[in-house]
Structure 1
Amino acid sequence: MSSTSDGLIDFTQTAPHEDNKRDILRGVVIDIVKNNDCKFTALIRSVDLISRRAIDNYAVFVSEFSFDKIRDEIERRKSEFIMRINKTFADIQDKLLGIPIAVIIASAQIDIKNGYIKNTAVLFGISIFTLLMGILTKNQIHNLEVIKEEYDYQKEILEKEYASLHSKISSAFEAINKRCKCLKITFYAISVILLLNYIFTYILYYKWTPKFNKAAIYLLETL
């Protein structure tokens, strides 16, 4: 009994979780003696049982504590990745407003009568705008792919470290995967809109620039 008592003392005084261990031991003692009239006698007789239950309950506590810690780590990384993914879109969100504005400017600035130089300048400006926006969009797609690769790597590490929690980790990271796919589709849609914007502007230029029309018709006739 002496060795068991010493073991209980060591159990409550050794790190880590000393306070939690004492709470666990207190709960076990109360649970064992609460239905006995002679509580002290019951306590003395049940030292071994108290020791086993305290150790078992502590093992359960450590398991739950570890899971909570892992879950917090997963949620932290999940939030971090989603913020970085969202930032790839936020970085160009204001610039996207320039796409419809560019169409309006092109329509308003193109001169139907004797506007070859002016119209050519408008087309050139739209071409530069489309090129720069295309490069920016491509760069954001690349950033998204880099984040995706890092996310896959972090997910693989967590699944190796905590194999028993594989399904929970996969479920937590699925939101990141969906967000990444959604933004990638959005960026490709933006690229298509940019191309259509340029084609529309070019059609306006071709239709409303007399000198260009004459030159194009002459070139076609000579061919």
Structure 2
Amino acid sequence: MSEVLHLAAFGIGIAQVRIAPGALDLTFYGGADHGAGVCRRTYRATGDLREKGTFHLSEAGLDMAITRCSPYSFNLAVERGGQPVAKGLALTDRDDPQALMVAWWTGETQPYGVVKYSIRDPETIIGYYISKMTPDVPGEDIVIGSTADGFRGNFVLNSLEAGGRTWGPHYWTVSQRGRITDITWEEHGRIFCRGFGMIDPQDSGSIIATYIPV
């Protein structure tokens, strides 16, 4: 089992939630079902999922509480029959106003953030993220390296937080297993973060990812 699959087995996952009138379209990977790969489900839902409140997904027997934390971010809590099922940290998708990007967890190990990486040109990938350090206002990653093979290869990554603080350079390595990507962040010869992501179901030139420090 790879280190990244081990993260998924911990109960950490990634998801895209797309909102339509009366429905929720969920694409997800991770948790106890990580062996099934990327899954997709559509549920009827009551309530406006873009606002604060609790919403019922009737077919799944789930209640989802969504709390807006900022114009960009939300906290999610999912219950079944009053019992906790999962929690999530969600970020609005600036490329898709009907979508939320969610890093979720079912156990005690909480992912550090959620990020969308998009290929912008043959040498540049742009990341858009929130993390435990910057939960309310998104920061930006600038990744330099050849994108000829998409999300495969070795890159150099620098981060810019909303407050102006910078991080990097970091060595960023991505490999791909079908619709899943395995990611490591390295500095001074040491891997300090591992993560995984999935290809954005609406945009094959983007991935939605989560990560934890190691």
The question of a shared fold, defined as TM-score above 0.5 by the shorter chain, is answered with no
**Highest RCO, 1 vs 2 (Cα 8 Å, sep ≥ 6):** 1
More helix by share: 1
More strand by share: 2
Give the TM-score taking structure 2 as reference length: 0.19
Larger Rg: 1
